[in-house]
Amino acid sequence: MMLHKIQKYLLFIFFILFFISPSQSDTLPAGFPKCFQSDVNTANFCPTEAKLGHKLILVDFTSRWDVAQIDWVKGRIFGNALVSTTPPYHKISYLKIDVTPPHSQKFVYSKCRFKKGEKSKFPGDETNKKCEGSDIVKNIYGQWISQLNNTEKDFFSINEGADQSLIYEYIIHVLRETSADFGNDYGERELVIVSDLLQYSERVNFFKHCTTAAEKLKPKNKRKANKCGTFNQLLKKEKSFAKYLEATKPKKEMLKNLKVTVLFMNHAYQSRKDLYITLQALWEGLFKHIGIENYEIIPQLDI
């Protein structure tokens, strides 16, 4: 009789553990590395069998920055802010917009976020004790953090400005070209754009579109962008740019699993203080026109 009760008790405990308690495999995405020794590429810390996510950070260096702006951007795209918003084994890439044409530009850094070796808000951040040692996992995480810190140290060292700003072209480049490794084969994608959003090139000049007639009466060295026309007005005035958008905008499948976050820089030396209102509306029109619906624009505070 006692043996029968013990058997029933053990069966009840097994039921609780097996059917009610969630297993790690239930909470982790498909393809998540179970053991880093066998399931992770040691060169870039990325899973060998899956593309879980990719955060691509596109930073515009075609206008000069001041120290306060650098500090604001650093605090959002590096350090704890980056780690705390990026799940383990999601790829992190940094690409600069500068004088280099998009197709010739190289990533400053492009590797996956290694796991911490301890619990966090992200499933799978802790050590899998069945096949991983806690000390070695934390040691590799420290190496990854060290590489990221070294990238941060040199990232803002060259900031000379440029004669043109191909913001749209860089966005389309990372969405269309396989060399960017930012395709919809990733389960999650976030494109972070750090820019003043003043696109200017031979084909289209947002500075001109965002400068009123009264401002244009001033000497060239004293003119500042102050108010943008609407996106529809831009298309009507710039027929060549309108055709260019239709020819180059991404296909619907290229936008699958995509979120766009814009850190909207405030360059006071080239624009009036209320420009951001109409310039943001201009880009919202452009995003909708090319099919980007999941986006957030975060303006920088006045400094």
DSSP H helical ranges for 55-166: 67-77, 79-83, 134-155
pLDDT of residue 29: 86
pLDDT, one tens digit per residue, over 95-140 is 999 999 999 999 999 999 999 999 999 999 999 999 999 999 999 9
**Mean of per-residue pLDDT scores for the chain:** 88
d(CA 286, CA 76): 25
Rg, Å, the chain Cα set: 24
User: From start to end of 196-287, where are the E strands?
Assistant: 258-264
- Report how far residue 54's alpha carbon sits from residue 31's, in angstroms, rounded to the nearest whole number: 15
DSSP label of 228: P
**pLDDT digit string (tens) for 242-296?**
999 999 999 999 999 999 999 998 765 555 668 889 999 999 999 999 999 999 9
Alpha-carbon dihedral 88, 91, 97, 103, rounded to 10 degrees? 180
Please give the pLDDT value at position 14. 45
